[in-house]
Amino acid sequence: MKLKSILTTASLSVASFSYAQEAAPLQISGSVDTYYKYDFAKVPNIGTSFANDQNSISLGMIDLALKKTTGKASFVGELSFGPRGQYGSLLNGDGTDENSFHIQNLYASYAFTDKFTMTAGYMGTFIGYEVIAPTGNFNYSTSYLFTNGPFQNAGIKGAYAFTDKVSLMVGLFNDWNVYKDLNGVSHIGAQLTVSPVAGWTAYLNVLSGKSAGAVGTGTVLDLTTSYQVTEKVKLGLNAADYSVTNDGGGYSGAALYLQNAFTSAFSLGLRGEYFNWKGVAEESDKHVAAVTLSGNVKAGGLTFIPEVRFDNGSSSEMFKKKNLNPSKNASQFALAVVYAF
Amino acid sequence: MRKLLIVVLLFPFAGFAQDVELPFDERGKFIYYEVVSQKEVKAEVLMERAAKFFNSSKELKLQTSPQDSLWMARGKMVINKTAFVLSRPSGEVWYHLYADFKEGKYRFWLTDFSFISYHRDRYGNFVPETTVAIPLENKPGKLNAGEWTAYSKATAREAKLFAERFKKGMSESAINPPTAKAVPTVDTKNQKW
């Protein structure tokens, strides 16, 4: 009897496998990450997103993504669980509990033609160089530009490819990082993508609108570009300006990325960043400069990221010394392990 | 019965075990090479069929004039990592396809395979990680050797599948496809029941 049931199960499995081969299969992918960070002042100092726990082997998140394409229609659903998703990103849907899983992407799209696609839902932001998933970044700790910019945008957008080298996206979006908008669909955004030569892509981005409760209309202008100079050398640049009308503050900054692959398994990457917070009303601006050196050691799907980082601020209020006195400087070491599947 | 069970359980692994890498040509490059005989078919007709195949194939771009005796095209195949019914693209392999035609036969070969790894972008889609393709013959260090061999074997598998498609496209039946069969209908009004 037991043998019969095993055979039945095996036959059904083979049958379902054969069926599945006829349609585009369901894609499942994701990543897992964990890290150790040690701040040389022995207190958590550098306040960018993620990797904040001091002298602790801490968890990042498990990220799970599903994608399915049927003909011209497709959907993506991506969820993350763990501290990076729970506390480092968004609130729960009702905004009452900070301990939540986090939706990274949840959208459906339809390719009307080879050149024109419409997408609606909740999507990773089109602004900026770095992303939430650690597999998408060379450095493990994130830039100030990433931390202060949008993470995700819910909305509806249309993208049209004029040629292989030029495309344009225009969309209507909710406020930054919210599953639902309390003041209506309030933002308009656009992205012009240009790929002048092989290996070089530049994105010119704009996102503008008045968020619920904001004193004015906020507008982000963003340039994100990367160039694969040689087989081993890659350059990246992110420059952005965010301004809120009625003296509502904002930020501006630029980050330069230089990466060199010494072997197929080992690369080094340097990020230099200058970031300025615009003062709200009568407040004065303050700025910070940061240098981050990261290694990437790859073994199959696994990447080890040893990293050192030095930040220097304009104000002694920004960081702390060992004795908790204010400091203009901060430095840290981190070792992260990221597995992509 | 027990033998049957063993056969059923081993069936999924049998296909995997047969995976082998492509052989090398005299330049030390991976190659898939085949000579196909089509007796009584003129070279001109074979070239017409090949042109039709190239025109209908999105992943192939002809790089020589159809008047040339040796045709060359640049092609791309996507390598998937598959487990049971689940799959995700792990990279793309670019290659050159050469085709040569004579009276009653033709030969073709795929070579110059180079690999570009995919990564997941901010929207959850798999896209090329770089624009620099690495020749498949360049073995990486020990740390990534297993994964690279898997890419190489998957390339051999995809090359074989492509060859089947190409040969089908070059066969007579592909030029004169049979007319679609009428869908059978059931007459419910004039039947006694």
Q: What is the pLDDT of residues B90-142, one digit of tens each?
A: 999 999 999 999 999 999 999 999 999 999 999 999 999 988 899 999 888 77
**pLDDT for the residue B176:** 53
Residues from chain B contacting residue A301 (CB–CB below 8 Å):
147
Is position B176 within any domain?
Answer: no
Indicate yes or no: CB of A11 within 8 angstroms of CB of B85: no
A280 close to B (CB below 8 A) = no
Percent of chain A topping pLDDT 70: 89
Domain around A332: 25-340
B11 close to A (CB below 8 A) = yes
A194 close to B (CB below 8 A) = no
Please spell the DSSP secondary structure of A129-175, one letter per residue.
S--SSGGG-SSSSPPHHHHHS-SEEEEEEEEEESSSSEEEEEEEEEE
75-104 in chain A: CB under 8 A from chain B? 76, 78, 104
Substitution target from A29, A113, A225 for chain B, most B beta carbons within 10 A = A29
What is the distance in angstroms between the Cα of B187 and the nearest Cα belonging to chain A?
Answer: 30
Decide if pLDDT at A75 tops 80. yes
Indicate yes or no: CB of B4 within 8 angstroms of CB of A136: no
Which among B5, B80, B125 has the least Cβ separation from residue A6? B5
Is position A262 within any domain?
Answer: yes
**pLDDT for the residue A312:** 96
Report d(CA A2, CA A321) in Å as an integer. 68
**pLDDT for the residue B18:** 53
Task: Tell me, yes or no, if the pTM score tops 0.95.
Answer: no
More confident residue, B101 or B176: B101
Indicate yes or no: CB of A123 within 8 angstroms of CB of B123: yes
Is position B193 within any domain?
Answer: no
Which among B86, B124, B140 has the least Cβ separation from residue A76? B124
CATH at residue A31: 2.40.160.10
**pLDDT for the residue B110:** 96
Indicate yes or no: CB of B8 within 8 angstroms of CB of A10: yes
CATH at residue B110: 3.30.530.80
- Over residues A101-125, mean pLDDT: 95
Q: Take residue B40 and report the two structure tokens written for it.
A: 């009584």
Q: At a CB cut-off of 8 Å and minimum separation 6, what does A63 contact?
A: A30, A31, A32, A78, A79, A80, A85, A104, A133, A135
Looking at the structure of chain A, the number of domains it has is 1
12-71 in chain B: CB under 8 A from chain A? 12
Among residues A336, A120, A143, which one has the least CA distance to residue A251? Answer: A143
Looking at the structure of chain B, the number of domains it has is 1
Decide if pLDDT at B149 tops 70. yes
The band of A52, judged by pLDDT with boundaries at 50, 70 and 90, is confident
Given CA atoms A10, A27, B155, B168 in this order, what sign does their dihedral have?
positive
B5 close to A (CB below 8 A) = yes
Residues from chain B contacting residue A17 (CB–CB below 8 Å):
84-85
Decide if pLDDT at A51 tops 70. yes
| Average pLDDT over chain A, rounded to an integer | 89
**pLDDT for the residue A23:** 57
Indicate yes or no: CB of B134 within 8 angstroms of CB of A264: yes
Is position B26 within any domain?
Answer: yes
Is position B123 within any domain?
Answer: yes
What is the distance in angstroms between the Cα of A169 and the nearest Cα belonging to chain B?
Answer: 14
Report d(CA A162, CA A146) in Å as an integer. 29
Report d(CA B117, CA B130) in Å as an integer. 7
Is position A238 within any domain?
Answer: yes
- pLDDT tens per residue across span B9-41: 444 443 344 578 899 999 999 999 999 998 888
Decide if pLDDT at B4 tops 90. no
Is position B4 within any domain?
Answer: no
- pLDDT tens per residue across span A57-74: 999 999 999 999 999 999
For B122, nearest residue in chain A (alpha carbons) = A124
DSSP state of A101: -
A9 close to B (CB below 8 A) = no
- pLDDT tens per residue across span A251-306: 999 999 999 999 989 999 999 999 999 998 888 899 999 999 999 999 988 999 99
Substitution target from B85, B94, B115 for chain A, most A beta carbons within 10 A = B85
Is position B184 within any domain?
Answer: no
Percent of chain B topping pLDDT 70: 83
A212 close to B (CB below 8 A) = no
The band of B180, judged by pLDDT with boundaries at 50, 70 and 90, is low
The band of A181, judged by pLDDT with boundaries at 50, 70 and 90, is confident
Residues from chain B contacting residue A299 (CB–CB below 8 Å):
143-144
Indicate yes or no: CB of B134 within 8 angstroms of CB of A29: no
Indicate yes or no: CB of B146 within 8 angstroms of CB of A300: yes
Domain around B85: 20-171
More confident residue, B59 or B105: B105
What is the distance in angstroms between the Cα of B158 and the nearest Cα belonging to chain A?
Answer: 15
- pLDDT tens per residue across span A314-338: 988 899 998 889 999 999 999 999 9
ipTM of the prediction:
0.85
Which among B9, B84, B124 has the least Cβ separation from residue A67? B124
By the 8 A CB rule, do A153 and A125 touch?
yes
**pLDDT for the residue A178:** 86
**pLDDT for the residue A291:** 98
Substitution target from A2, A17, A27, A64 for chain B, most B beta carbons within 10 A = A27
Decide if pLDDT at B174 tops 80. no
Residues from chain A contacting residue B59 (CB–CB below 8 Å):
none
What type of residue is A111? A
Q: How many helices (H) and strands (E) does chain B have?
A: 4, 7
- pLDDT tens per residue across span A210-237: 999 899 999 999 999 999 999 899 999 9
The band of A33, judged by pLDDT with boundaries at 50, 70 and 90, is very high
